[in-house]
Structures are given as C-alpha cells and as structure tokens.
Amino acid sequence: MKPISVFLLVCLGLSAGLALPAAADRDRDHDRAREALIRGEILPLHAILPDLETQFGGRVIKVELEREKRRLVYELKLITPEGRIVEIEVDAATGAILDTEIEDD
C-alpha cells in the first residue's frame, strides 16, 4: 500500500473515533430531555411550536434544550418568510417566552 493511502486510512480511523463521544453525548442529551418530559418538568414541543410559528410567522428550524439558572429552556431558531432568523428562548416548563432576538445579516 502506498504511504499516502496508509496516512488517509489512519486519519479516517482517528476521525471516526472522535465522532463516537459526540454521538454518545447527543444520545444522553436526548435521554435527559425525554426523562424531563416524562417527569412533567417540561412541556412537549408539540404544545409550544404551533403558537410560536403563528406568533412569529415562520417555521422552526432548530431546537435545543438547555439548563439556565436552575430552569430548563428551549432555545429555538425560526426562519421567517422573509428569510430572517429569529432566536427565541422559551421556559420549557411553562411555555412562556423569555427572550427573542433577530439575527443580523
């Protein structure tokens, strides 16, 4: 095998190994979110998203669940029909909007 091929195989193997911990973290995050939903600590997204999409006139393109100041917060990104990105923070327990920000171009 040529030296360049060996080098590429080694790099490929190393990069695959680095991806595994990130995937495991995502799985744990998903499990934590599901457990919080089962315990009744957070509202399901389907109870929050339609109102946000109607209120802001767009479509949600990204959702994260974060812990901030002892509470769980949905951090959402929404794209408006005009193509603007709106970041919205929502209290995951109550559905109350905590903060909004329109991203600059």
Amino acid at 48: I
Contact between 53 and 46 under an 8 Å Cβ cutoff? The reply is no
Dist. CA 13–CA 30, nearest whole Å = 26
Is the pLDDT at 99 greater than 90, yes or no?
yes
Q: Provide the whole-model pTM.
A: 0.71
What's the CATH fold of domain 42-105? Nuclear Transport Factor 2; Chain: A, (3.10.450)
Asked which of 3-17, 61-75, 88-102 is least confident by mean pLDDT, the reply is 3-17
- 72 Cβ contact partners less than 8 Å away, ≥ 6 residues apart: 36, 41, 42, 65, 66, 91, 92, 93
